[in-house]
Structure 1
């Protein structure tokens, strides 16, 4: 057992047995009703640590004396978190080998990648702090092979070695890439097995390069498989044309030396990047392995505000409040090739932070006036921070962010979501999709919860990786934000935009789902026996009424019979389940399988 610690629970779940390097150590029994404390006083404010300089804020550059995972103490039973809001279920990702929460660690700054050849395979990377008593972190990651319903946390890619600023992507053939930085190099890890195994890392550059970001060309052009990277330095760009094995000598492109931005490829292989000054650069020839890349600055986009100051203030005192997201449209519709920019900005006036968006239809040369995506009242003085943007295969735009509007407390945020099906001209009403959390607790010797979140869109919705403190500590969560009231596997907004569904009252809900008379539901019963979860309805609703039932994000459509009754079931179910009848938020039911 050299170099590792592991934990197991007794059959009665009365004693936690902790195995160290050689001799087993028995911890005290934990009462079944007990809850852990993230600190001596779970609700006490954390001690603020002055923000460092430069931005990358590690002080502990070497591993603790014992670089194994910390003692995994927990309650009895200690399930991972499954939290459902508005029918969308957030699943905790950084869990132990039994699927339980790991106490006294911290995880933040997540990035997400999905296998385009098999979307069951999802990997999320994050900054893994094995103990909150140190800001030494590693390249943590979690793997799911069932579209995010369950997760495995194998540990860190390079145990005992510093790793920060994780960025993940997958190429067109399903190869996963994980980029991470140390204070002496920038590393790239590759997995050809959907995250189950990883190759030894490739050194991209033998120097510290803060806030790196990269993308992979997934087109069918000459640049297919190319990797492009930007970072904070005078020479702020590099490229690989052989799948990340070798890299060109870094070169200067006309972005800021600390871009803190993102980089993307359009359907024709054109490369775009942006920085925190909302400058956009473009290269037509970076895709050609036989040419030296040439970039030109096409525009400085007016997003109706400035990049929020760093450090970020109330919600994230030692970190950023924003990252500029540049994205391109790969759909086959009229918006194909569009370039989009979204960022949380500091607008003029009383508002502290708004999510704003702009579009270019001419390869970044000109941009539309910016649009405010969050729909709270102007001047409400709420923080809409960590705005993130992704584009669906249909061309639908998905946006998510942290939001303090409902709490009126700068330290208490929720996750909100909106979408657009007209290339960003208009946006849907904002929807709360995850519970409130305190962004100012659980700090691992830093006073921040990271600097960004991660998002990828699919046909049904937005796959979001984010950090929150529902356990009183910083953990990483996954939520598939998929408004799909009719259960056809497609986003409701796309159903309406394509004409598959009508929306007579223009409320964004397909007419076949609107107007569920919750008062006509006599009983909504949920039971789980022998791994089979059943949901049954008795009602006075007419025959043929369609009801959508959500089980931890897995949705089935129920058709009522002549007696107003219906049922659906799921097989091979385990663990805790929240079952919802969509449209009737007061009818949520809890069930335990196994």
Structure 2
């Protein structure tokens, strides 16, 4: 159930029951519980009028606003109290990118109930003029707890109307109940004719699990013809941040006729000895042959981010792919090439999961995971994650985590229960389990019943949008997940969306739900 300041617990329980969301997932120790609720963003006095609903943006907007629809959740567990978790997500997604605000909710009972809170990351969530959240839209929520229980929430905020954006963070010292005012790590001011060509994207944040003072942020910086991975850190628990600096640029990181022309999806984990591992995907161009290849790769830092290895370490080649509704030729905007990384905090063993078109001869998308037992210097051969079905079933959106016993869990979506020719695109979420050495142990369904992907929000021409990622974490020996599912309202969306105007879709198309799984 979901608690909000404006709705009673009884109403939240009733709403969940009506939607059929509070159902036991097979093998789970808790119900599939809704985290998100209907929108708390202002509606301008007329929730059916797109101009009224978008008054809070502070500038004219274009696209379809999916009010009451949530996507792209992230989830973090308090190391001092695993019953305390925080989730973040896109609240009221736009077809043209980003959301009206970024949602947040916390639980203190292990996910049985959730309380929503508002953080002023955007104007529509209460940011004041000239504050760090004085922006039209938000995206890319990422949450991490430090070793003493302080939570950090990072986001990308944007002004679509003037091509301005920033990376911002907020912190909570009481388990997610209250939050500091957001602070900016980096800004791209629209007024600067040089910096107008910059765009910050695809951020992540990691609180050092061994030092409460250290927090790390990394993302991709785009400039005309140039992309760089950048890094910033805080040495006072997220109160202030260093100036962002490039740690990998175009043409670097290989040391041969190949050169890196693109990197994205950076995520940092910390090994038991304090080494930072930054995982991402990269695109390589071989100047000698003209061949272009995709690879999962990492960078390492042994001095808490002051310096990084000059050359990338290859993890595995892959062929970038996304899921697709083959009957209607509509793509799913999913992880594509983005990696997910996790570390066993006791042994330091690393795991990276990703999507790959090389799943089968038909070129369909599948999910793979690889491991390293030497600090990321060498990597195992990739292991197929979606082993519960044939490789003719598309699998996508992988997220990896490791529980305290060392069991590896990889969450993913797939279409195994879809029936060709029927109305819905039946979609389910599963958790594959592996030994530390990646021997397959089996899989668990996280959805008790399928949901229809065709009723989810659309992102322009990029397709259905559950998120570029979803949430998976360990809570002791359990795995806890926050993921997006449609509410099966019987209202398929139109593709592609008309973005040459302002349109409003008020249907509660999709929500974020929570599941706990005990291996």
TM-score (norm 1): 0.62
Residues 270-289 of structure 1: pairs in structure 2 closer than 5 A: 270-276=275-281, 277-286=295-304
Deviation digits for residues 412-461 of structure 1, max 9, x if unmatched?
A: 2101112123331x011222221311223231665422211111113332
Q: CA deviation at 1:387?
A: 0.6
- Greater Cα offset, 243-252 or 315-324: 315-324
* 2:152 matched residue in structure 1: 177
C-alpha displacement of 1:320: 3.9
Structure 1 residue 286, shift from structure 2 partner? 2.2
The alignment partner of 1:205 has SS state of strand
Q: 1:194 aligns with which of 175, 178, 186?
A: 175
- TM-score normalised by structure 2 residue count: 0.70
In structure 1, the residue matched to 2:365 is 353
SS at match of 2:117: strand
Alignment partners' CA distance in 1, 2:202 and 2:97: 21
Corresponding residue for residue 65 of structure 1: none
Q: Which residue of 1 aligns with 2:232?
A: 238
Residues 210 and 285 (structure 1), Cα distance of their counterparts in 2 relative to 1, 3 Å cut:
same
Of structures 1 and 2, the one scoring higher in RCO (CA 8 A, sep 6+) is 2
Deviation of the 1:249 alpha carbon: 2.1
CA contact (8 A) 1:339 1:361 kept: yes
Gaps of 5+ in 2: 41-46, 48-65, 127-134, 159-164, 189-198, 222-227, 250-260, 282-294, 490-508
Q: Which moved more, 1:466-475 or 1:144-153?
A: 466-475
Q: What secondary structure, in the 3-state scheme, does the structure 2 residue paired with 1:117 have?
A: coil
What count of residue pairs does the alignment treat as equivalent? Answer: 402
What residue is the counterpart of 1:138 in the other structure?
101
- The residue that corresponds to 1:24 in the other structure is none
Name structure 1 gaps, 5 residues minimum: 14-71, 484-594
CA distance in 2 between counterparts of 1:76 and 1:263 reads: 36
Distance 1:430 1:191 in 2: 35
Q: Distance in 2 between matches of 1:133 and 1:309?
A: 19
| 1:117 Cα deviation from its structure 2 partner | 1.0
Distance 1:310 1:406 in 2: 15
Matches within 5 A, 1:363-402: 363-380=375-392, 382-402=393-413
Structure 2 counterpart of 1:329: 344
1:311–1:243 CA distance, 2 compared to 1 (3 A): farther
> Distance in 2 between the 1:224 and 1:315 partners?
45
SS in 2 for 1:430: strand
**Equivalent residue, structure 2, for 1:116:** 79
Using the TM superposition, name which of 246-255 and 351-360 deviates more. Answer: 246-255
Alignment of 1:74-89 (within 5 A): 81-88=21-28, 89=31
Contact 1:170 1:177 survives alignment (8 Å): yes
Matches within 5 A, 1:42-53: none
The structure where strand makes up a greater share of residues is: 2
Deviations 1:126-177 (A, max 9, x none): 0000898996421111111111001122345441552211000110111111
Output one character per residue of 1:247-275: Cα deviation in whole Å (capped at 9) or x when no partner: 22222223765412322111111001111
- The 1-side partners of 2:171 and 2:79 are apart by 16
> Corresponding residue for 2:467?
450
**Equivalence map 1:265-304=2 (5 Å):** 265-276=270-281, 277-286=295-304, 292-302=306-316
CA distance in 2, matches of 1:278, 1:213: 17
1:230 Cα deviation after fit: 1.6
Deviation of 1:115 after TM superposition, in Å, equals: 1.1
Q: CA deviation at 1:278?
A: 0.3
Measure how far apart 1:315 and its partner are.
Answer: 7.2
Between the aligned partners of 2:372 and 2:319, the Cα distance in structure 1 is: 19
- Secondary structure of the residue aligned to 2:272 is coil
Distance in 1 (CA, whole Å) between partners of 2:213 and 2:238 is: 9
Q: Which secondary structure state, in structure 2, belongs to the residue aligned with residue 440 of structure 1? A: helix
Q: Distance in 1 between matches of 2:16 and 2:315?
A: 53
How many angstroms apart in 1 are the aligned matches of 2:99 and 2:310?
Answer: 38
Superposed displacement of residue 344, structure 1: 1.9
Which one has the largest radius of gyration? 1
Alignment of 1:517-556 (within 5 A): none
Contact 2:99 2:139 in 1 (8 A): no
Asked if the contact 1:218/1:225 (under 8 Å) is kept, the reply is no
For the Cα contact (< 8 Å) 1:312–1:318, is it kept in 2?
A: no
Aligned: 1:107 with 2:100: no
Give the alignment partner of residue 250 of structure 1, picking from 244, 255, 275: 244
> Could you tell me how far apart the structure 1 residues matched to 2:312 and 2:93 are?
43
Q: Measured at CA, do residues 226 and 295 of structure 1 come closer, stay the same or move farther in structure 2, by a change above 3 Å?
A: farther
Q: Structure 2: how far apart are the matches of 1:140 and 1:319?
A: 20
Aligned CA distance change for structure 1 residues 377 and 79 (closer, same or farther; 3 Å) = closer
